[in-house]
Amino acid sequence: MQVSEFTPPQLAGQRLMVGFDGIRLNSDLRHLITTLKVGGVILFARNITVPEQLLELSCAIQETARKAGMPPLFIAIDQEGGLVARLKEPFTLLPGASKMKDLNTVRRYAGITANELNGVGINMNMAPVMDIAPVNIQSIMAERSFGPDPQRVSEMGVQIIEQLQQSNIMAVAKHFPGIGRTTLDSHLDKPTLAIGLDILKTADLIPFQAAISGGVAGMMLSHIFYDQIDSRWPASLSPKIAERLLRNEMGFDGVVMTDDLDMGAIKKHYDIQTVVRQILSAGIDIAMICHKGPDIETAYQEILKSITDSPTVHAKCRTSVQRILKLKHQYLSF
């Protein structure tokens, strides 16, 4: 399928990656795929029992999309290892980044992860974490980061990207432009990081530039408020960070997505209509909403309305969906 063939409802749906409840194809999930025409789903422990069930679910998702005349879905999961691993036994229990001591270990575990994801129909991993974690603070990323050294984080992260993508699993680097300097969890509220771009360029951005050079498929934006870069919007809603910095200055032409819009950093401060309009304005490709609820339908309707009302938004939406389709053509068969 080419983007020129897409109707406005199809364009709107491709911009969404959503979560759902249940362990099999049910009426809610069918509605997301066939009516809202979502471009991707993200899986959590609530969706998983055993490998056979997970493979059956993945196949049902893709078959439903095919019958609806839509391209395959991104089927994503957070499988970093350590604290953030949705796949438990009998899958391999991986150590977190802070416990991986050398490139051979990282390479081996990334290969295991890729094999296990392929075996259950998952095609995208929300990893690696490319955040640095300074040693002089209680970093929220202390357990999930490869450490304080940007070069080490770069080398380890690029190994994961290469191993995953060589095995046809799309990697998503996170959390741009870096959350390792924060101590407040953005799941709870909106952290502010009062440092300028000059400081970020000396450390935090180095691993993300390495990920771009390594051909990473996707980039996830953090919900951190970098008030010296954008005095109004957090990174996940910021055109200054998503468009000017990530795309124009750093040269990333892959798919850009938000972190979960259900997190407190966003949910406590903005209504979903404002969030969606800002995402569209910032040229962010995918809005991620990880929990069942009215926000998914509202976000879809707001994207559709914006596409219909504004030729400028319509054109930008086609550009985003073109990037999404390019990635799907590269990694998924259709």
Catalytic positions, written as ranges = 187, 259
Say how far apart CA 325 and CA 73 lie, in whole Å: 10
Tokens of 158: 């690029």
Do residues 161 and 173 make contact, with C-beta atoms less than 8 angstroms apart?
yes
Terminal CA-to-CA distance of the chain, rounded, Å?
Answer: 8
Best CA proximity match to 299, nearest among 28, 307, 61: 307
Do residues 264 and 253 make contact, with C-beta atoms less than 8 angstroms apart?
no
Cβ count within 10 A of residue 35: 13
Say how far apart CA 71 and CA 91 lie, in whole Å: 29
Cβ count within 10 A of residue 42: 23
Q: What radius of gyration do the chain's Cα atoms show? A: 18
